[in-house]
Structure 1
Amino acid sequence: MTSSPCAPHSTSLPPLSPTARTTPTRGRIRQVVERERLHEVLREALVAHLGFVRDAGTGDASTVRPVVLPVAIAVDPEGPDEGGTLYVHGSVAAGWAESVIGQEVCVSVTLLDGLVAARSGFHHSMNYRSAVVLGTARRVDDEEERLRALAAVVDHMVPGRSATLRPVSRKELAATLVLAVPLAEASLKVRAGGPVDDEADVASGVWGGHVPIRLVAGEAVPAADADGPVPDDVAARIAALR
């Protein structure tokens, strides 16, 4: 996959340092500590999920509830936050956006790589790469950082796309909220390969194996009022997903 402007410049980064909240209690053999692998997964994921506790501020416990929302992201390993920065795109008009500023949040992504068919229901599984980032959400107020983050969100979807677009308008900036979450506290787990069956189940003769799964792009569909051929940036994105 083509790197975005926020791709890391360093090839030697400190490993993920597990905290009490990011230390797996199950499947520890699947934990990955290389921080570069975390960045790779975050860059490949097109959709993340932002989890937080929403409080309507009424003083009534019944108004406090957990919320998990799909969000667009971009990752900057050399960003200004501890361990680098994960940017989350939001709208000022969204009821949740302002409420998470200064609050502990959880951002998670999962890339599904395969279905694992075992000889027993207990050992059926999936191949995946799953990242969880925990941290306090910061509103990005600095205009230069906001513009850089918004360009990175666009390039996260289609690398190089932001350079072909008109500048963001003042009205658009006023309507857009950018959150930053530090990458310091994060975990990554990976599963790959076939089933891990008990010997007795293997001897039963039932078929076992796995089915690889990947995201594949189709042909670009131009808008009804689009002019010219598919641009190079979109064509390259399609090619990277073939």
Structure 2
Amino acid sequence: MNPIPPHLTPSRYPKRADYDQQTIYSILDEALVCTVSFAVDNKPFSIPTAFVRHENKIYIHGSVGSHFIREIEKGLPVCITVTLLDAIVVAKSAFNHSVNYRSVVIFGTPEKIEDTTRKTQAFKWLTEKFVPNSWDYLRPFNESDNRKTTILAFSLDEASAKIRTGMPGEDENKDLPIWSGIIPIETRRLAPITEEECSAGIPLPPHLTGTMM
């Protein structure tokens, strides 16, 4: 295994770092939004956006007129972060409160996808991630859609995960008569709500009738 570069090594709690590819993939596949950070003229920007992973790359999309997209498609180096919050960790002292989380940090430069077939495929992956099995139900992605959309891909060759699990750690306070533990946090999909102006009377499609967990 190649040495881990310094920018992928956490300075705080490095033992929580995880470089296993499947661990990184599982976090990215569960998360819906990433934050893309970059600098232009020494001014920092940090933009949240939807993404999808396919094989060893993640893909984002945006309007061809988007300032954010137009800047980074030039080949700017970026740092992309993803965080899943699993629990609030409640300690016996406020100093030791924490959170259980799973996160990924990615360093890279964008690859602009020019081929229309690849662009459509990436848009399909993104759509199916957010609304599984919906692609063939929707109005087909057409040439105009493709022309108005920029797709950027980022390699996962420089990616690392960081994970915290478990209960609070505060041995010095363990005998205090104060409750400690965790408050689990769950993100889940609820029942769809119909848009009444345009979709009233249209039955819920089969891919939305099941429980979307």
Aligning the two structures, in what range does the TM-score lie when normalised by the shorter sequence? over 0.9
% same residue = 31
Deviation of the 1:228 alpha carbon: 3.5
SS in 2 for 1:21: helix
Unpaired runs of 5+ in structure 1? 1-14, 56-63, 78-83
- After TM superposition, list the pairs within 5 Å mapping 1:102-121 onto structure 2: 102-121=75-94
Aligned to 1:61: none
Once residues 163 and 32 of structure 1 are traced to their aligned partners in structure 2, the CA distance between those partners, rounded to angstroms, is 37
- After TM superposition, list the pairs within 5 Å mapping 1:8-19 onto structure 2: 18-19=4-5
State whether residues 18 and 187 of structure 1, in contact with CA within 8 Å, keep that contact through their aligned partners in structure 2: no
- After TM superposition, list the pairs within 5 Å mapping 1:190-209 onto structure 2: 190-199=163-172, 201-209=173-181
Deviation of the 1:131 alpha carbon: 0.6
Greater mean deviation of Cα atoms: 161-170 or 183-192: 161-170
Aligned to 1:154: 127
Aligned to 1:68: 46
> How many corresponding residue pairs?
210
Letter in 2 for 1:26: R
2:27 is the alignment partner of 1:41: yes
Letter in 1 for 2:52: A
Once residues 113 and 16 of structure 2 are traced to their aligned partners in structure 1, the CA distance between those partners, rounded to angstroms, is 34
Q: Deviations over 1:101-146 (max 9, x none)?
A: 2111111110110000001122110011111111011111011111
2:197 is the alignment partner of 1:219: no
Unpaired runs of 5+ in structure 2? none
Greater than 6 Å deviation, 4+ residue runs: none
Greater mean deviation of Cα atoms: 217-226 or 204-213: 217-226
Once residues 196 and 48 of structure 1 are traced to their aligned partners in structure 2, the CA distance between those partners, rounded to angstroms, is 29
State whether residues 74 and 87 of structure 1, in contact with CA within 8 Å, keep that contact through their aligned partners in structure 2: yes
Deviation of the 1:229 alpha carbon: 2.8
State whether residues 87 and 180 of structure 1, in contact with CA within 8 Å, keep that contact through their aligned partners in structure 2: yes
Letter in 2 for 1:115: I
Once residues 127 and 32 of structure 1 are traced to their aligned partners in structure 2, the CA distance between those partners, rounded to angstroms, is 15
State whether residues 61 and 150 of structure 2, in contact with CA within 8 Å, keep that contact through their aligned partners in structure 1: yes
State whether residues 19 and 159 of structure 2, in contact with CA within 8 Å, keep that contact through their aligned partners in structure 1: no
Deviation of the 1:100 alpha carbon: 0.5
Aligned to 2:209: 235
Pair 17,89 (structure 1): closer, same or farther in 2 beyond 3 Å? farther
Once residues 240 and 198 of structure 1 are traced to their aligned partners in structure 2, the CA distance between those partners, rounded to angstroms, is 41
Deviation of the 1:216 alpha carbon: 2.2
Pair 230,183 (structure 1): closer, same or farther in 2 beyond 3 Å? same
SS in 2 for 1:163: coil
TM-score normalised by structure 1 residue count: 0.82
TM-score normalised by structure 2 residue count: 0.92
